[in-house]
Amino acid sequence: MKIDKIGPNDYQLYIYKYNKELSEQEVRELLKKLQDKLKLKGFYRVIVCNKKIGTFIELLKIEDSYYKRVLDLKIIIENEEEVYFKTEDYFLIKELNSIKYNDKYYYGLVDDSFDKILEKVEFGEFIFGERLSVVGGLNEL
């Protein structure tokens, strides 16, 4: 599992579970286990995207004034969400079906052809959800 802190109270997780879709209940149980480690408390919107290579989860804090000591989750399963792999090395992702470019970074669409790159994920990062909208306009190569 890879955990990235994307804001003061927001996180993105990548869980490698080949060909296994996590259900809403499994996501809820996982986040309860991580609650102390990540210091989660408050009301979170949780976007879950199951792909062939694993599950991508985005936790965005919405409210905390009424949730001083508890964790409440609004879980949305959105398997059609686009997930990109961001890297500076074009040759790392050149075999992918869809590659885009923006501000010195290459973005390869995570799809069924991504399997060959799994052992190289330390050379980039996954971008999805709110972070993808921040990237701005991606230009097709």
13-51: pLDDT as tens digits? 998 876 678 899 999 999 999 999 999 999 999 999 998
Residue 134 burial by Cβ neighbours in a 10 Å radius (0-12, 13-18, 19+): exposed
How far apart CA 112 and CA 116 sit, in angstroms, is: 9
Q: Global pTM? A: 0.84
- DSSP code for 64: -
Q: Is 2 exposed, middle or buried (0-12, 13-18, 19+ CB in 10 A)?
A: middle
Kindly report the average pLDDT of the chain as a whole number: 86
